[in-house]
Amino acid sequence: MSESTDGIEAWKEHTSAFDRVQSIARSVSEPKPVSYIAEEAHVAENTARDHLERLVELNVLLESESGGTALYSPDPLHVRLQTLRELLENNDRDSLIELKADLQAEIEDLGEKYDVNSPDSLRDLAAESESAAETSEIRKAASDWELMLYRLSIVENAIENYGDYNRHYRASA
């Protein structure tokens, strides 16, 4: 067996079909059909379909349709709330404030490096670049900037509501 096949077999042995389907479906960047998710999760399409429907019912995934084919993608609200929960579980208020400062510094550094004030301005700069490598680098920086802005908004939400969220965790623990 190859190393890749060994890894797949170990994944199948130690992870339930439901967890494999959920893992694949939550990691896609664009909506995917059952056939794709089933293949990647190493399950039958009927098994994948059943699990995907359950994940839609649980508001973990969104279901859409294209050309009569059901497509599945992560529910952005669920993803945001999971990220918020992880931040609160792994950080106290001071470390959240430190994380906010780190994200702000990285965003400021990108703005200064490229002399722009937004990811869109950075993409405009990429459109004018002279080489493929430079275009690629600038586009990646714009994507990184957007991701940092998204994460910053969640960190700020965690800081703003830290007392309320923490009170809820203590009451339910």
Query: Could you count the other beta carbons within 10 Å of the beta carbon of residue 143?
Result: 13
Task: With CA atoms as reference, report the closest residue to 151 among 116, 99, 111.
Answer: 99
pLDDT tens-digit map of 7-53: 888 888 899 999 999 999 999 999 999 999 999 999 999 999 999 99
| Distance between CA atoms of residues 54 and 126, nearest Å | 42
State the pTM of this model.
0.77
55: CB partners within 8 A, 6+ apart: 21, 22, 25, 61, 72
CB-based burial of residue 65 (10 Å sphere; 0-12 exposed, 13-18 middle, 19+ buried)? exposed
Q: Please write the tens of the pLDDT for every residue from 59-114.
A: 999 999 999 999 999 999 999 999 999 999 999 999 999 999 999 999 999 999 99
Q: Which fold has domain 3-74?
A: Arc Repressor Mutant, subunit A (1.10.10)
Q: Which amino acid is at 39?
A: E
Q: Is 48 in contact with 40 (CB distance < 8 Å)?
A: no
Domain ranges of the chain: 3-74, 78-172
